[in-house]
Structure 1
């Protein structure tokens, strides 16, 4: 493949996609019965295959990167697409790390003995077939397959055309590792095709696919949410705010703001908007602007911010759309608000339910903010960057859910399970009504 070639689009018919889903469903029936030791052995075999296949992975990835450059892909996306020896080792180590985590399957969520003597338990069980639709990042292929397997699920993976060579090699290695451990090779599959029709066939495979998790930009997520007949767990869109209250420690607030915005601006837990209480704006905004300038952040300010900035080159007037924009770059919208109520109202109007932060010295303000702000995670005097499965101590994460049903926030192993009730009696029958 030359550097002038774009990623090749491969068509797949409906029956081809559904056949893949049927194989996954058959595999899932066996995976649900595996012991924790058997799943851990499979994860170690998969990591061994990834390490042994490092050279062929890098060769396939070089093809994808060359095609991406030829198609004019941005430097940021090229970086997300690119694999190195260190990144491959990190993927393999991630599979190994999963073996140290508790197996969620079989966990008793709750139990009781009913007045009639029936013994009731609610137990965690695998979802079944989990499909993940994602963009650009081949590391997701390995992460998603491993987390799905640890929770007893079969994985159907639909990456983007830009990573098709990398993903094909990775899935072949993962499937071989599963087979090495005695599991069905169909425990992890790449969905056939890279055209849009193959995604549509996957999204409408109700009865074969149990849940779809989209990971990517707003366009991808909304397309899946709006077009799927399979249940969807909505993830990722993060228009996150940092609100600096009138009682905030301003030095702390600067540190939290810069970490929230500039640590990794391309991730969904990065701050996209700064809100400052009017009572401290005159002192705090100059401090914040200086720190943001040092971090190469461009500030899209409301009139009050622009006035305080006094012509600073890294401050531009905010457009109306900026308040709803997930920049995923070194850009930050900023506004001065009258009070806590105004900050909460702004977040309600423009937030995406991901992560919101308040910096305050007031317990009352903190309690008001955490009670009234509707988000998967609310931070008090801490960076938005902490909304992450690893940081929360889950050890692994398939994504960050911004919806309210089943799972919300970082989704670890438990969130890739459902539950069933097991009721044990000794001959009880229910009386006629």
Structure 2
């Protein structure tokens, strides 16, 4: 049965695992060989970039360590099992029909992203190993870097006798992108926008196929009344300052009003965050305890993802209010509870509507590599298909194979 299924091609070309792995092996060597060209291309992007957006600039930078990470990501995907053609279920019905459900390629995936040239590697390597064609629409700020990296892909594909059409780079402007989304010149099966809310809204408005939303953070921490303060403080500092450009960075802190020594602990947190140059915004109930915090001017700020050294602090009256506030304002990405009570943590983790929920740990772990998934296409905040890190195993759909012997439905 397995051999029969493997020989049943769909309308798109199915590559063998061996062929795909050979391309990835070539790709690792090609990236390393072209390291200097990649770095030169990235420098051209950096020189042209106006650094008014520090988070976007940070995402744009490619150095030797980042090139090493790209090579490592390709190697990790090469070592992972091929996700295509795996049997999900198999049953024989009373009428003799044999029904087999197997994983299958999506087809063509378009990823639209801002900055981050490493997406050009990590997205394409996953889609290729999952036997999907990928269309890369990077931002104009990374045009030189992306061209250099796609040239590496094309060299690796040609070395193994494959068409360069497997991986295409689009250099469309906003109007051209809009026109393509509304009337694509080739079949699209899935679009993944990776970027801010404006980009996601733009894609959802104009796309004619499925859109998998990812990337928006606005992550919350709830400090319960029984939290280990030193531990909680360490977690919040890491979540906020470790990488401000990450979609898994912390933006909002809810402190229980019954936290013992509330005033001194809020002042302690303010002092530590100030040392890390984090700007604090505070609600009316918190503001009297702090000296440098600015007043939250509008409720809308609770919806905002900062991608900056900035955080909001507010007081809540117990676990239920914290859960309600998180579910109302967060981006559905990552939330953490800091508490010594496992039952309280369990309730928080069950009821908070986020892709990843944490107990006494930093939100910065919402990442494919950190969670053991490996390289990821995105962090999905959608509920259909898959939620959280979208790795190789999740980058397939499914297909039913039904084998009969002349059966008809009566």
What is the TM-score of this pair, normalised by structure 2?
A: 0.92
Q: Is the 8 A contact 2:55 2:307 kept in 1?
A: no
Query: Which residue number corresponds to residue 124 of structure 2?
Result: 145
Would you say 1:179 and 2:162 are equivalent positions? no
* CA distance in 2: counterparts of 1:319 and 1:390, whole angstroms: 38
Alignment of 1:35-114 (within 5 A): 35-69=16-50, 73-114=52-93
Backbone CA RMSD of aligned residues: 1.9
Determine helix, strand or coil for the equivalent of 2:376. coil
Deviation at 1:384, TM superposition (A): 0.9
Query: 2:281 pairs with 276, 292, 300, which one?
Result: 300
Query: Which residue number corresponds to residue 336 of structure 2?
Result: 357
Distance 1:251 1:59, change over 3 A: closer
* CA distance in 2: counterparts of 1:83 and 1:391, whole angstroms: 21
Determine helix, strand or coil for the equivalent of 1:353. coil
Query: 1:421 pairs with 396, 400, 403, which one?
Result: 400
* CA distance in 2: counterparts of 1:371 and 1:266, whole angstroms: 28
Deviation at 1:274, TM superposition (A): 0.3
Deviation at 1:294, TM superposition (A): 2.8
Distance 1:220 1:101, change over 3 A: same
Query: Which residue number corresponds to residue 329 of structure 1?
Result: 308
Query: Which residue number corresponds to residue 34 of structure 1?
Result: 15
Would you say 1:278 and 2:278 are equivalent positions? no
**5+ unaligned residues in a row in structure 2: which ranges?**
1-9
* CA distance in 1: counterparts of 2:406 and 2:229, whole angstroms: 65
Alignment of 1:235-384 (within 5 A): 235-280=214-259, 281-282=262-263, 284-309=265-290, 311=291, 313=292, 315-320=293-298, 321-384=300-363
Which is worse superposed, 341-350 or 58-67?
Answer: 58-67
Deviation at 1:180, TM superposition (A): 0.7
Q: Is the 8 A contact 2:56 2:245 kept in 1?
A: no
Alignment of 1:223-238 (within 5 A): 223-238=202-217
Which is worse superposed, 81-90 or 119-128?
Answer: 81-90
Deviation at 1:197, TM superposition (A): 2.5
* CA distance in 2: counterparts of 1:93 and 1:370, whole angstroms: 33
Deviation at 1:111, TM superposition (A): 2.5
Deviation at 1:202, TM superposition (A): 3.2
Determine helix, strand or coil for the equivalent of 2:79. coil
Deviation at 1:149, TM superposition (A): 0.6
Deviations 1:84-109 (A, max 9, x none): 23322321222122111121111122
Deviation at 1:130, TM superposition (A): 0.8
Query: Which residue number corresponds to residue 179 of structure 2?
Result: 201
Q: Is the 8 A contact 2:220 2:334 kept in 1?
A: yes
Q: Is the 8 A contact 1:118 1:428 kept in 2?
A: no
Query: Which residue number corresponds to residue 7 of structure 2?
Result: none
Q: Is the 8 A contact 1:132 1:215 kept in 2?
A: yes
Query: Which residue number corresponds to residue 169 of structure 1?
Result: 148
Distance 1:194 1:28, change over 3 A: farther
Distance 1:282 1:267, change over 3 A: same
After TM superposition, where is structure 1 displaced by more than 6 Å over at least 4 residues in a row?
A: none
Query: Which residue number corresponds to residue 376 of structure 2?
Result: 397
Deviation at 1:73, TM superposition (A): 4.7
Distance 1:262 1:75, change over 3 A: closer
Deviation at 1:371, TM superposition (A): 2.2
Report the number of matched residues. Answer: 397
Q: Is the 8 A contact 1:42 1:181 kept in 2?
A: yes
Deviation at 1:329, TM superposition (A): 1.1
* CA distance in 1: counterparts of 2:313 and 2:80, whole angstroms: 41
Deviations 1:177-206 (A, max 9, x none): 111112211111112x33112312332328
Distance 1:77 1:236, change over 3 A: closer
Which is worse superposed, 237-246 or 41-50?
Answer: 41-50
* CA distance in 2: counterparts of 1:389 and 1:240, whole angstroms: 17
* CA distance in 2: counterparts of 1:353 and 1:99, whole angstroms: 31
* CA distance in 2: counterparts of 1:74 and 1:382, whole angstroms: 28
